[in-house]
Structure 1
Amino acid sequence: MKSVSNYLSRAAIVTCVIVAACKKAAPPAYPPAEVTVLTVKPETVEAKLDYVGQAEASKAVEVRSQITGVIVARPYTEGTDVKAGTVLYRIDPTTYEAALRSAQGTLANAQARLANAQRSYNRVKPLLDEHAVAQVDVDNAETELQQAKADVDQSRGAVDEAKKNFDDTFVRAQISGRAGRALLVLGARVTGPSDLLTTVDQVDPIYVSFNPSDKDILAWRHNEATRKMIAGGKLKVAITLSDKSSFPHQGTVTFVAQSLQSNTGTLLLRASVPNPEHVLLPGQFVRVKPLGIVNDSAMLVPQRSVQQGLAGTFVYLLGADNKVVPRDVSATTWEGGRWLIQDGLKPGDQVLVDGTLKVGPGAPVHPTPYDPAKDTTLTTPSDSAAKVVVSR
């Protein structure tokens, strides 16, 4: 009996020790996590948009001969800049020079006959009043005078035509620009306007075309300031070259297509860009950034507020009883440490900024207001006019 009593006593002691140990191992109740909270409100931001653009000549003129003949000279150098009026080709002038001299001789004869007819008429006309000549003599003199005038007019027309044909033996540039490759060589026969000799492209200014989406265009038209800027021909664009360098001259949008391209859902815009150094060439691809377009209902949150989950991006909101509520969002892009939220937030939502790694859905938190002025991760703290980049 004594051994049984001792065993029970020891068992009771062990049980008490175990119970005491369990009580000591119970985790303490942690206080709610400290978090900072941003109350979302719409902001006006400058949207620094970005599109693929392509350069094209502001004028592209085909050089063709108006006459037939053999090419006897090509004074220009391919790929060089030429002025309007510069001779690019010379067609053999022999036949046309002879035709011009012949027409000029015919005109001289007609003018001589006209002078003689005028003198005859001037002599006969006064004699009619003196009854020294018959009426028929005056009529004949007047007819010869009118015929001589008609011959002169006809001869002048022939001279003008011959002179034009002779002048057309000099094939000139119609605009100033860059002359292209010669398509016919010396000695080749030109059969007329059907033969293309070369082209001249005007590249200063040069056109740069780009294609905003229908969604972008709709947003621009909803903003009165942007709509007026485009309609008034005041929308400026900046150009970035393929090596990431900035083109030194800004362009101005001078053309907006009247309808969308049905296969792409985009609208063609064309900017006129000064190109005095001829850095931009027709066909060259560039990046186009419209300037001064604003979004007056932008929802911006610090970059660290946005979390990445299996289903996409989300943020934590401060819900009822200071408990965490997840919310799916669509974050388009960011600059200066802030995300532009396209969908998922509305004015007045309270977004958790700091402390998000210590909480989860439904967790209680202790919120304090987020102060952007103290946020060193922002490029421009408390700047409500952050620039947001959207690439297309």
Structure 2
Amino acid sequence: MGDNEHKTWLREEVEDWSRDGIVDDHQAKLILSRYGLAKAPSGTEKISLNKNPSKLITVVSILGAFLIGIGAILFVASNWQKIPTVVKMILLVGTTYATYFAGWNLKFNRKTHPEMGDAMLFLGSLFVGVTIFLIAQIFHVNANEHWLILVWFLAILPFGYAFRSSSILSLNIFTFALWTMFYISQTRDLLLSSFEIFMLYLLFGINLYGFGQLHMKFEKYANFRLIHQGFGLFFILASYFYFSLEIPYRFILTRFTPINWQVQMLFLIFMITSLIFLASNVSMYRKIKSTKYEVIVLAIAFLGWIGTWSLTFFIDALTTPIVKSGHTYMEMDPKTATILFIAFNLIFFVLSIGSILIGYYKATVPFVNIGMGFFVLGVLNLYFTTLYELLPRSLAFIAGGIILVILGWYLEDKRRSIINEIKGDNVI
């Protein structure tokens, strides 16, 4: 078989794979481009799973930029009262603009140091937040106002895509998550509002994962898919880990009060968008069968949220009043608490394993690591909340140590096995 015949055969095979749903369109183009049979999708690079020096340079550059930013902030803060207001404004805006300009020049204009340029652009986005908070302080605005974080998020929202910066996109996600936490916690104290915060984070994670899938339709931004989906899985698993603890339904739901209408509106908006993204994934599953684990994980996560939200409407039925030291307290029925404990832990472990399966079938190592990490965290939680209480302390520590050593050995071996298989595919 000649070279041309080989290429013809490969092209036909890849087309069959795509038609049968073994690979998606983006992966098919990457395979064909590897052998010169198609143009590489724009905005993507050949990804090597070996140690990449450029990634180390990027990490070091970003850390360096972060330290420079912290040092500059501390220096200005130590002399802040001595600086005139006009000079403060010029210094803040000028420094932010100069940092952005330097980063853009290095990454896009001269193209001599793109990694350093990306780090400078990230530093500029940090300076945007510093500028907003310090200007607010100049005009005597309370720095604890949640809308200041929202302004920061909106100010840097387009820069992640405009500058093609993964680090700025990550900062976008972080600032939005931080804003929701501050916004909800202002309605009541942080402990009581934590239940609502993680309910919203769960929907936020579903939205992030679904939004990441949309990037596959735009080749220029396809490489940003993993950032959104990685954070999406993290928020989904972090939320269910929180619900798997006893604190939410033993100590928070028993003192729960109705959610105010602003937070309910956030829930409604995120619930609608979650349904849209879930429907989009179901539609994708009909064409690409390899997305079935993603559909299952998102569906279970969303149905679990519906169940969790429903709990807030039946607080009176789930709790009973008890009198201690002359005071009346509300307490969760023990049987109900046990059922919730089992249900949330079951969902949590199913989603953790689902994350590992998604990582395996999509050949994405970070998803495997996220799933493995939360799985181990869940096992530790079960040990210290159940087995530790059932055994004498000495036996509990010995048994726990043996279990954890065996589990750690097995999971690390399994993780290496999965990653080695992914490396064999050489596709992320």
Q: What TM-score, normalized to structure 2? A: 0.16
Which of the two has higher C-alpha Rg?
A: 1
Question: Which of the pair has the greater relative contact order for Cα pairs under 8 Å at 6+ separation?
Answer: 1
Q: Which has the higher helix share?
A: 2
